[in-house]
Amino acid sequence: MPTESKNPEALDHVKANEAEAPSSRLARFSADEPLELDSGVQLAPWQIAYETYGTLNADKSNAILVCHALTGDQYVASTNPVTGKPGWWELMVGPGKPIDTNHYFVVCANVLGGCLGTTGPASINVETGAPYGLDLPVITIRDMVRAQARLVDFLGIDTLFTVIGGSMGGMQVLQWAASYPERVFAAVPIAASARHTSQNIAFHEVGRQAIMADPNWCGGGYIGEGVRPTKGLAVARMAAHVTYMSDESLHQKFGRNLQDRDRLTFGFDADFQIESYLRHQGMTFVDRFDANSYLYVTRAMDYFDLAHEFGGSLPAAFAGTKTRFCVMSFTSDWLFPTSESRSVVKALNAAAANVSFVEIESDRGHDSFLLDVPEMFETIQGFMTGAAHARGIPAPGEAD
């Protein structure tokens, strides 16, 4: 039996070892409860860190699993202990929010390969007593979902009312629907795709090479050396961050505005606001994220190709599904463009699935799913109400 712990003391130590002893809830699986990985490795012991919000109802039919994106974490609607910042999706999840925690029981877990308490490259390898580093097997989106399924088992939940997530979170949603169709009543993949494209792999590879080029990366063994590849990781984050915004949003937010100066300096300082902003993004990121985790989680995204798992047929991934889908994309998202969501919708239609598809007008690029985009909230609220009725549970605001 896995055991559970909550480590409130860690909250006092902002930079405590969140990879090993997270501030959040934690389910530990022992040496005889391995997690089978796509690489063939039986990972054990292993652990999964998670947060919950709201109350599970008597027949356990109101549970929603939120899947996070590349650099997200389990703190979807509560303070991140490392940064001290609010949850990353408090616009979406919380009391009275579209995913109403007064009504639903929300679970969010740190992904496998992450660095905030779920087993990842910064976790201690019990065989060596040292952090895994690159000795951790490469993991996949399916591995992440397998780990989440074990957590859902542990919580005693049979069927999730909804699985929802954006970007890599949306990949997990699709994998959930394909791997465990009977356990997913409704699925909401946002700004996602069923496979990582060549361009996406390319941008990830740039980030990985930036990390690996940093001599402080030490072949992945930097923790043992007492150093960190902060410069390489910052460059990786900067490169990625540009892809999360649209040309239009960058133009509106920064244009060619200068940073705290009247004229060009004819030097290599951050003359432009966009430069200063990117440098800030890079610098703050390294305080909260592990470089090897960045390698592992980007790799998992690159490896994702749901059709490939089903003999090259994406409709086959959803054959006979009874899950209700709400697929969502954003007009200005060029990293996970609408065409990718359309491919998913086409496959769902071919599988005769119950699917609604909404392309939302937004000029804020891929990051739109994290931002205040009212049409997204309204769409999700509407979809969830319909799903609640279909499931036979009251929607928020309705009598129990």
Active site residues: 167, 333, 366
Nearest approach in angstroms of CB 18 to its own copies is 24
Q: Tokens 């703050």 map to which residue?
A: 284
Of 173, 273, 154, 287, nearest in space to 233 by CA: 287
Which of 74-82, 205-213, 366-374, 379-387 is the region at the interface with its own copies (rule: CB under 8 A)?
A: 205-213
Which of 46-54, 74-82, 184-192, 248-256 is the region at the interface with its own copies (rule: CB under 8 A)?
A: 248-256
Joined tokens for residue 138: 């490469």
Task: Determine the Cα–Cα distance for residues 366 and 341; give it in Å rounded to an integer.
Answer: 13
Joined tokens for residue 265: 């300096």
256 binds its own copies (CB under 8 A): yes
Of 158, 159, 111, 116, nearest in space to 139 by CA: 111
The terminus-to-terminus CA distance of the chain in angstroms comes to: 34
364 binds its own copies (CB under 8 A): no
Neighbouring C-beta atoms of residue 238, cutoff 10 Å: 20
Which of 28-36, 108-116, 199-207, 376-384 is the region at the interface with its own copies (rule: CB under 8 A)?
A: 199-207
279 binds its own copies (CB under 8 A): yes
Query: Would you call 124 helix, strand, or coil by DSSP?
Result: strand
Q: Which of residues 208-247 bind its own copies (CB under 8 A)?
A: 208-210, 212-215, 231-232, 234-235, 238-239, 242, 245, 247
Q: CB-wise, 22 or 220, nearer to its own copies? A: 220
Task: Determine the Cα–Cα distance for residues 92 and 53; give it in Å rounded to an integer.
Answer: 13
272 binds its own copies (CB under 8 A): yes
178 binds its own copies (CB under 8 A): no
Q: Do the beta carbons of residue 48 and residue 22 sit within 8 Å?
A: no
Interaction site with its own copies (CB under 8 A)? 38-39, 134, 137-138, 195-199, 201-203, 205-206, 208-210, 212-215, 231-232, 234-235, 238-239, 242, 245, 247, 250-251, 253-256, 264, 266-268, 270-272, 274-275, 278-279, 282, 295, 299, 302-303, 305, 334, 337
